[in-house]
Amino acid sequence: MTEYIVPYQDAESEFTEKRSRFITHLYKVGTEAEARARIEEMKKKYYDARHNCWCYLLGSTVVRYSDDGEPQGTAGQPMLAVLQRENVTNAVCVVTRYFGGTLLGTGGLVRAYSKAVQEGLAASRVITKRHGILTEVGTDYNGVGKLQYLFAQSDIPIMDSVYAEDVRLQVLVPAAEAERVKKAVTEATSARASVTEVKELYFAVSDGEYLLFDD
């Protein structure tokens, strides 16, 4: 997978609809075991609630949801639909409902549980993780300015630099752009620069900050 959208920070949100209290918890997870553990954690924490509805997605293949006692199709599936519409994956969402004594009806429940997930996403720091390659480019001092200009024009961030007898720049290259960037470096320096792939990883940009991940 070259890129996917995930929650970066756990999130909690809450609202009241016709005296029913809806509490949302959203977490990033990597396995079904993690997702199930989060669901059980919320069920234990809110053991006295009428419903603890949930859904989770892992990659593009694992999809699970539960209405947990609400009328069929009014909770888990609408919750899941919100995550799918936003292209969020590797996430589990649990919405706890404390019944307020007033029935919401089928349409009202669908709207309420959908809203709960939307507010959970709004409260979370959702990021787009992209497949990248940490790459070291070695050059003499004559080539530094050309490379700095090339990387700036291509939106390739320089993550680190070492100035010694020669110059070594460590840059973060989207995996899909690796060959193009390598060719551009060769052309810009008349083949005098070396290009070494150091590590494959995933990265995201949030609030101007580059975040690096192993997976």
Three-state DSSP state, 19: coil
In whole angstroms, what is the distance from residue 39 CA to residue 81 CA? 18
Amino acid identity, residue 144?
Answer: V
Say what the pLDDT of residue 206 is: 87
Give me the pLDDT at residue 212, please: 93
Contacts of 209 (CB under 8 A, 6+ apart): none
Buried b (16+ CB within 10 A) or exposed e, 158-191: eeeeeeeeebebbbbbbbeebeebbebbeebbee
**Whole-number pLDDT of residue 20:** 96
**End-to-end CA separation in angstroms for the chain:** 10
DSSP secondary structure string for all residues of 153-194? HTT--EEEEEESSSEEEEEEEEGGGHHHHHHHHHHHTTT-SE
Which residues are CB-neighbours of 36 under 8 A, at least 6 positions away?
A: none
pLDDT by residue for the chain (215 residues), tens digit each? Answer: 678 999 988 999 999 999 999 999 999 999 999 999 999 999 999 999 999 999 999 988 899 999 999 999 999 999 999 999 999 999 999 999 999 989 999 999 999 999 999 999 999 989 999 999 999 999 999 999 999 999 999 999 999 999 999 999 999 999 999 999 999 999 999 999 999 999 999 999 988 899 999 87
The residue type of 177 is E
Report the alpha-carbon angle 210-212-213, nearest 5: 150
